[in-house]
Structure 1
Amino acid sequence: MKPLLKLEHISKSINGVSILKDVSFEVNSGEIFGIIGKNGTGKTTLLRVLIGFYHYNFGKYSIYGDERIPLNKDFLKSNFGFATQENCFYDDLTVFENIKYFGRMYFMKKEILLGRIEDVLEIVELKNKRNSLAKNLSGGMKRRLDLACALIHSPHVLLLDEPTAELDPVAANHMWKTLKNINKQGTTIILSSHFLNNVDHICDKIAILDDGFVIEVGTPRELKDLYSQNEEIVIQTFPANYDQMIFYLKSSSVEITNMIVRDKSLVIYTKEPSKVLQIVLKVLHLLNETLLELEVNKPSLNEIFESVTTKKINRKTPDELVKYVENSVEKYKQSQLRERLLKAYPKEVIDKVLGKQ
């Protein structure tokens, strides 16, 4: 069975700045798919590519195996719903009036629209607020009104940009519950977030996005298994010359998966915690560091996310990126794709590639 959406080596630049770089993943019908990344990593740009608001510079994007469908604006408008981070409704209209307005944008027949409004109000639990002005709603209710406006035309795919941003825990949990219920009715959901722990309980699959690259894709369990054999050693020292400590630890013979600095502590991921601790004590003595705190734990999903994005697993080095683009330019030299490719990567990369030809 073909995936609902498939992206292959998608790249996108805006005003000469490379935002998405060689992005590849698949989304199957009925899934809740999470796109996770820190602020500024390209999550919103990626969602806008998926809904056809942005056209990518290079790569392939297909729906049900057909690359022509993403170019069909009418298809995307009818089958996709999108709720942005910012409120899309009108403050001085009531809840009912806002949803009705968005339904008319999809040219829904009056009798169908009125019935659908009642359905949507029930789904987002705003029936008792139907006559309230949007500006008088709580933050959580405003998010659910945005969701209602995106659902009014019964889309097959619902895209949500940071659906729980700035919500308190109670309102956020209410939103997750609502999204699960929508998904159970057959709607495929693609959402973005900058916290892995926020979405691991709801997503079937997760793509980790870092600096425009997708560096891992998998189920929450698979992502945790990626590091499940590791222990997390957290040490805090004084005067905290962590760069020097990392240098010495990297030159040792013990197996260390990754090291990052977090909250004034050095965090070490390793399958050999006992051996690493022995080396750590020697390094502390060598550098005249005073040990203030030491913990050994299993990493949480959020810590895995931080470690993976810091390490940049599968990230191309500058030389590897030049080589990759070089090969692609040669491959598509007789095609219109070549011009799209030349716009997809940073100017310094393209200059190096063209300089070699």
Structure 2
Amino acid sequence: MKDETFDITIVGAGPVGLYATYYAGLRDMKTKLIDALPQLGGQLTALYPEKYIYDVAGFPKILAKDLAENLINQALQYEPTVCLNEKIVKLEYLESEKILKLTSENGNTHLSKTVVLTLGIGAFVPRKLDIPDVHKLEGKGIHYIVRDKSIFKGKNILIVGGGDSAVDWALNLEGLAKHITLIHRRDVFKAHEDSLKKLFNSTVEVRTFYELKRVHGDEHVEGATIFDNRNGAETYLDVQHIILSLGFLANLEFIQGWGIELEKNAIKVNSKMETNIPGVYAAGDIVSYLGKLKLISTGFGEAAIAVNSTKNYIDPSSKFFPGHSSDFVPKKIKSG
């Protein structure tokens, strides 16, 4: 039986991919959504479901899992075909048929007139510290990902890092944990200004120019030794959990053979979110262009541009900008 050909196939079911799926439905496109994970939501559900997100329009703050639920609800109202546990390993442009062929790791194939890649940072792995005891106690009090924050109730916590994730977790867990210490190897943070203002007005103990030297414990974290990188002075902390918020390493090796032009470990796109391959577009953290800002809110806009571009690519007589959403009559959104 010949594979069914879709108007648009979106690869990556994180927030940007989910919004692209919704927008494709809004433009009456036959849509397929593919993701390598067993559930929708991408990093929102896989990495930090209990973390608050502060920079999405319309929400002063919202838990990642709740944002994911809203996006899933929105995306599925037009009944797209959804394929989970499907890691795409090959993309080909079939010149004779003017369509794209995607092949997954398990051998399944997907045909589509256009493809939008919303892969986030690709295959992500957490940055790790080269400290032996850290590796030994991973999952036993050492955390790179937090899925259930209730485990920190009444505990002493050490957070390592100076970006938004480290600061957000410190603020998120304040009041739940007994005591929180946040250390950063320098005195310049990469977190948003408002978050830093809240951090320094909180009960969190912040130590700059400090790094983690040693983790103590056999079956579970029992303590940590930190040191001042200016003079080497060491301090022992009585902690039961350590959150290492050191970021994630992007890995785009799996698309190296697809023929897509890369720039700065990201996919190079133009103002229409087009790649160098006909019919292939990209949006979200995976893309690179002058002035790129890696925010979920930015990704939403890029998703809309990419989908409108695919519609116009398939049907040049269609309008690139079809009008505002109030001009459409969307299907009834399912209630939770």
Q: Verify same fold: TM over 0.5.
A: no
TM-score norm. by structure 1 comes to 0.24
Say which one has the larger Rg.
1
